[in-house]
Amino acid sequence: MYYQKYNRLFLFISIMIVLFVSISLNNILASSISPNKGEYNNNMPSLCRISIITCLNNIPLIHQEHIDIKKQTDLIIEQVNSTKLKEWINTLSSFHTRHTKSDQIEDVAYWLKNELGTLCESRVFVHNFTKRDDNQTFHLKNIICTLKDSTESFQDNTTIIIGAHYDSRAENINNTDARAPGADDNASGVSAILELVRILSHVNLKLNLQFVLFSGEEQGKWGSESYVKYLNDNNRTKNIDLYINFDMIGYRPSNESDKVILEYDVGNKYLQNDNYSKTIALFIKHIASNYTNLKAQLAKLGNSDFIPFEALGYTVIGIHDGGVTENPNYHKSSDTPNTLNIKYVTSITKMTLATILELDRLSQSLKR
C-alpha cells in the first residue's frame, strides 16, 4: 500500500511539474514572439513567484529540449496506422455478434488471442474466468498483453493498464442471436489497443504497460471485475498507478468538431483518487492540444470497466466519443464500421500514445 501511494504521489507531482513547465513555456514562447515587450516583462515575475528554477534556467535550452522531446514523440505517434485500425474494426464487426452469452464469443476470444499474441511477441496471457448467471455457467476470457522493461522485474516499476471491452450487444440485452456488430461499442476501443501494442512493443519503456481486452462488460463488467479480483488475489496490484479505459472512440460525424470526452473520477468509492484522476485528465487534455487536433472535454466518470479498478483504490480515466448521448446506433445492429470516422479513431490513438510516451519520459527523468 505504501508503494502504491508513493507511486501515485510521484506521478501526481511529475504531472504537475510538466503541466507547470509547459504552461510556463507557452507563456514564454507566446510573449517572446510578441512584438510587445511589455507582455514579456509582465510574464516573468509571475513565473518566478511560482518556481525560481524556471527563472534561473536557461530558457532557450528548455525550449530546445521541449522541441526535441516533441519531435521524438511526433515521430512515434506518426506510426499510428489508420488502415490497420480500420481493418481490425471491420474484422471484429464481421462476427455476427460478440454477445458474451453467444456461441461466437469463444471464436472472438481466440481471434483476439492470436492477433494480440502476434503483436505482443507471444507475451500474451489469457485470463479464464467463469460467471454464473440465470442458472447458467459461462466460461469466458480476458486477453492480456504485458510490455515491460526486460532489465527490471514487473514488481519494481510503475504500471499503467489500458483496457477495452470486446463484447457487444443488441437492443435486447438477452438476445444472443441478433446482429450486434458493435463497431463503435467497442471494436473501436479494441482496435486502438491493438495498434498501441503494435507500436509500443518496439519502444523501450521504463513504465510497465499492460493491455487488457475484457469480456462481459455489457452484462455488468464481468471481465474487469474478475480481472481486478485476480490481480488482487495474486498480489499483483502493488505498482498499478493508472487505469485508462477506451469505450466507444469511433463515432464523430465529419461536420462536427473533434471533441473527445475525458472522464475523470468524481466521488466514487475512493474519494482520495479524485484529485489524481483530474490531474491526469488535465494532462491528457494538454497532450491532446499539443499533439492532435482533438478538443478534449472533461466529464464525470460514467459506467464502464474502470469502475472495478476505482473500487480498489486506483486512479482511473475513461476516454470516449460521447457514447450513448451522441451515437444514435448505440446497442443497435446499425452500429457498423461505415458509421465511424477512422481519422478520429486515429487521433484518439495518437493522443493516448503521446500520453504514455510523455508519462514514460517523466518517470525516466525523475528516477535518475
User: If you count them, how many residues does the chain have?
Assistant: 368
Q: Please state the closest distance from residue 228 (CB atom) to Zn ion, in A.
A: 17
Nearer to Zn ion among residue 115 and residue 185 (C-beta): 185
Per-residue HEC secondary structure of 169-222 comes to: CCCCCCCCCCCECCHHHHHHHHHHHHHHHHHHCCCCCCCEEEEEEECCCCCCCH
Q: Which is nearer to Zn ion, 24 or 186 (CB)?
A: 186
Provide the residue type at 237 as one letter.
Answer: T
d(CA 347, CA 126): 29
Residues within window 252-281 making contact with Zn ion, judged by CB under 5 A: none
Q: Is 277 exposed, middle or buried (0-12, 13-18, 19+ CB in 10 A)?
A: buried
Contact pick of 167, 184, 185, 310 for Zn ion (by CB under 5 A): 185
**Angstrom distance (rounded) from CA 223 to CA 63:** 45
Q: Are 149 and 205 in contact (CB under 8 A)?
A: yes
Sorted by sequence, the CB contacts under 8 Å of residue 285 that are 6+ apart come out as 262, 296, 298
Q: Which is nearer to Zn ion, 68 or 171 (CB)?
A: 171
Interface with Zn ion by CB under 5 A: which range of 55-63, 104-112, 186-194, 264-272?
Answer: 186-194
- Min dist CB 276 to Zn ion, Å, is 24
Nearer to Zn ion, 185 or 263 (CB): 185
Least distance CB 253 / Zn ion (angstroms): 19
Q: How far is the CB of 134 from Zn ion (least distance, A)?
A: 21
Of 24-32, 95-103, 181-189, 220-228, the window that binds Zn ion (rule: CB under 5 A) is 181-189
Distance of alpha carbon 77 from alpha carbon 353, whole angstroms: 6
Q: Which x/- pattern, by CB under 5 A, does the window 195-234 give for Zn ion?
A: ----------------------------------------
Strands 240-246 and 159-165: parallel
Residue 247 makes contact with Zn ion by CB under 5 A: yes
The answer to whether 125 and 144 have CB atoms below 8 angstroms apart is yes
CB of 83 to Zn ion, least distance (A): 24
Q: Is 115 a residue that touches Zn ion (CB under 5 A)? A: no
Binder among 7, 93, 186, 341 for Zn ion (CB under 5 A): 186
The number of residues that bind Zn ion (CB under 5 A) is 3
Q: Quick one: 186 or 237, whose CB is closer to Zn ion?
A: 186
Other CB atoms within a 10 A radius of the CB of residue 116 amount to 25
**Least distance to Zn ion, CB of residue 260, Å:** 16
The site for Zn ion (CB under 5 A) is made up of 185-186, 247
